[in-house]
Amino acid sequence: MTDSTAPARPLAERMAQIETFHVVALVTRAKELEAQGRSIINMVIGEPDFPTPQPILDAGMAALQSRQVRYTPSLGTPALRDTLSGWYRTRYGAEVPATRIAVTSGSSGALLLTMGVLLSPGDEVLIPDPAYPCNRHFTRAMEGRPIGIPVGADTGYQLTAELVAQHWTPRTVAVMVATPSNPTGTLIPLPDLQRIHAEVRARGGVLIVDEIYHGLTYDQEAHSALEFTDEVFVINSFSKYFCMTGWRLGWMVMPQRYVADVEKLAQNLFISNSDIAMQAALAAFTPQTLAECETGRLRFRDQRDYLVPALRELGFDIPVTPQGAFYIYANCSRITRDSYGFCLDLLERAGVAVAPGIDFGEHRAAEHVRFSYPKPIPVLQEGVRRLREFLGK
């Protein structure tokens, strides 16, 4: 029984600023339809469709069998931090001491800690629009103000040093980019990233680079910001390249002077990361695991190479071929100017789930949809067949 005279329960003002994922409504509806026996082609979810590589699973099982699963140091086990430091040396030729690396609960944990140590109430963070939606909300949760900067095909859907300069205000403290990006799959060329970094540093701010989709590039290798500077926050994760979404493990690299504050915050917010996941992740950089991940990368490349032309043929505009991640950000304005309504309709009538632009920002959001393609090609082909039928082509 509800008591209508009871006072409203307390609710923080900041919650009014936190939006839900619109896509959640679509995913819920897709599940309902599946429960009714409908077949759904799900091109919404942003995760690899194959299992965690076997050596990681084996190491995780050995960790369980050791019966020694405990709290660990808040910034991660020394063994994993050392392994990550070695990875930066072999993969990027960058000297990153383990002391500047914090292991976190997914890269989500890293983003929360980063915003937590950088932002005071009202501080502004420049973020491209479109971008990964949670970036806005990590900022708001820490009482900062995310400032979405509209970006389009002309800059590969990425920020530039000029855009940073134009939008900088006395309240700006940080700029956040992702390369490759979610939702566009585009990279920031190394010289452009260096220019953005120089602009941000010249203004006394901090650059945050989300490198979570590193390893998943198809035409060129992605460069890390750590190849040219120590003065940067780099965010990464075991979720995507290593197919470990459910293990909730990521990491961040930070300038030395932030380490003590990140540690203090991590101790209080999380105590420690998952010990099992960290023991398992020690096997992530072995030749056998990397070989499995490379097989996955080649599959994603083939899936991209199938889906991009197929969507273009159906009337979607994809002016910049995505170079990484596993997303295609497609302009659907020749088909509809209400991408959210289109997504709902497409799911209901054709059984195909894709993400509406509104989840990634405001800039021309109603003209865009995002396709997530880690699916076997026959499944993607069936999705395209249903789309063609739906569009009456």
Ligand X SMILES: Cc1ncc(COP(=O)(O)O)c(C=O)c1O
Residues near ligand X (CB under 6 A) are: 46, 106-108, 132, 178, 182, 210, 212, 237, 239, 245, 250
Query: Residue 291 Cβ, how far from ligand X at the closest point, in Å?
Result: 23
Q: Which is nearer to ligand X, 252 or 387 (CB)?
A: 252
Q: Contact, 373 vs 383, CB < 8 A?
A: no
Task: Compute the least distance from the CB of residue 129 to ligand X, in Å.
Answer: 14
- To ligand X, the closest distance from the beta carbon of 357 in angstroms equals 15
Q: Single out the residue of 390, 317, 334, 332 nearest to residue 366, CA to CA.
A: 332
Q: How far is the CB of 150 from ligand X (least distance, A)?
A: 18
Tell me which residue of 46, 97, 16, 387 sits closest to 212, measured CA to CA: 46
Q: Please, what is the minimum distance in Å from the beta carbon of residue 19 to ligand X?
A: 16
Q: Which of 324, 330, 329, 319 is nearest to 300 (CA)?
A: 324
Q: Which is nearer to ligand X, 118 or 335 (CB)?
A: 118
Nearer to ligand X, 214 or 363 (CB): 214
Minimum gap (Å) between residue 6 Cβ and ligand X: 37
Q: Are 145 and 172 in contact (CB under 8 A)?
A: no
Distance, in Å, from the CA atom of 237 to the CA atom of 249, rounded to the nearest integer, reads: 6
Which residues are paired to 241 by β-bridges? none
- The CB-of-353 to ligand X minimum distance in angstroms stands at 16
Quick one: 226 or 335, whose CB is closer to ligand X?
Answer: 226
**In a 3-state reduction of DSSP, which class is residue 213?**
coil
Indicate the residue among 46 and 351 with the shorter CB distance to ligand X. Answer: 46
Which residue has the closest beta carbon to ligand X?
106
Q: Provide, rounded to whole angstroms, the least separation between the CB of residue 250 and ligand X.
A: 4
**Residue 236 Cβ, how far from ligand X at the closest point, in Å?**
8
Provide CB contacts within 8 A for 285, sequence distance 6+.
83, 86, 87
Separation of alpha carbons 127 and 307, rounded Å: 28
Residue 205's nearest CA partner among 231, 236, 235, 166 is 231
Q: Which is nearer to ligand X, 251 or 335 (CB)?
A: 251
> Between residues 108 and 286, which has the closer beta carbon with respect to ligand X?
108
In the complex with ligand X, the residue whose CB is nearer, 238 or 340, is: 238
- Residue 210 vs 359, nearer CB to ligand X: 210
Q: Is 68 exposed, middle or buried (0-12, 13-18, 19+ CB in 10 A)?
A: exposed
CB closer to ligand X, 42 vs 107? 107
DSSP string, 230-298: SSSEEEEESSTTTT-GGG--EEEE--GGGHHHHHHHHHHHHSS--HHHHHHHTTTTSHHHHHHHHHHHH
- Least distance between ligand X and beta carbon 109 (Å): 7
Nearest by Cα to 213 from 288, 126, 300: 300
Q: What are the φ and ψ backbone dihedral angles of 331, each rounded to 5 degrees?
A: -80, 125
CB 125 within 8 A of CB 144: yes
Three-state SS annotation for 21-83? CHHHHHHHHHHHHHHCCCCCEEECCCCCCCCCCHHHHHHHHHHHHCCCCCCCCCCCCHHHHHH
Q: Which pair of structure tokens corresponds to residue 360?
A: 């990634």
